[in-house]
Amino acid sequence: MRYCAYLFVVTAGLAASMANAASPIEATLYKNPQCGCCDEYARQLEANGFKVTMENTTDLSQIKKLAGVPENLAGCHTMRVENYVVEGLVPLDTLNRLLTEKPDIWGIALPGMPTGVPGMPGPKPEPLNIYVISDGTPEVYATE
C-alpha cells in the first residue's frame, strides 16, 4: 500500500511539473498602434512559448520612463516579462537566457530597430549588443 501512495505522489508531482513546463511565459508588450515590427516580434514570441498581451499606446515615452529605460537604450517597444523590462527587439536566445539565469537587474535592451532581429526583415549587419538596463552606465549583457 505504501508503494502505491509513493507512486501516486511521484506521478502527481511529475504531472504538475510537466504542466508548469508547458504553461506559456506571460508578457505584456507596450507599443505604438501602427508598429508592424512589434506585431511580428509578438508573433515570433508566441510561436516560441510566450503568451503576449499587446497594449497599444501613443505615450510610449512615458511607459519607458516609468520602466527606467534610459533614452540611449530606447527601442521600438517596451515589454514586461516576469520581473523584467525588455526593451526593443531582443533576440529570443538572449531573452531566454535572461529568464533562465534570472540575474538581479531591471532588464535588458536592444536600442533602435536594427535589421536582422525578430520583427525586422533583412540581414543583420553586424553583431548587436544587448545592454543591461540600470541607473548606471550601460553594460553589455549579451552580443548576438
Mean pLDDT of 37-50: 94
Which of 4-18, 24-38, 47-61, 80-94 comes out lowest in average pLDDT?
A: 4-18
Q: What is the pTM of this model?
A: 0.82
pLDDT at residue 6 greater than cutoff 80:
no
How far apart CA 94 and CA 75 sit, in angstroms, is: 16
Residue type, 42: A
73-101 residue pLDDT tens: 999 999 999 999 999 999 999 999 999 99
pLDDT band at 116 (very low <50, low <70, confident <90, very high): confident
Domain boundaries, the chain: 24-143
Give the cell for residue 139.
553594460
Instruction: Report helix, strand and coil shares of the chain as percent, to nearest 5.
Output: 35, 25, 40
Q: Residues of the chain with pLDDT > 90: what percent?
A: 69
CATH class given for the domain over 24-143: alpha beta
Dihedral sign, Cα of residue 91, residue 97, residue 99, residue 102: negative
How far apart CA 97 and CA 99 sit, in angstroms, is: 5
Query: What was the pLDDT predicted at 114?
Result: 86
Q: Which residues contact 93 (CB under 8 A, 6 or more apart)?
A: 142, 144
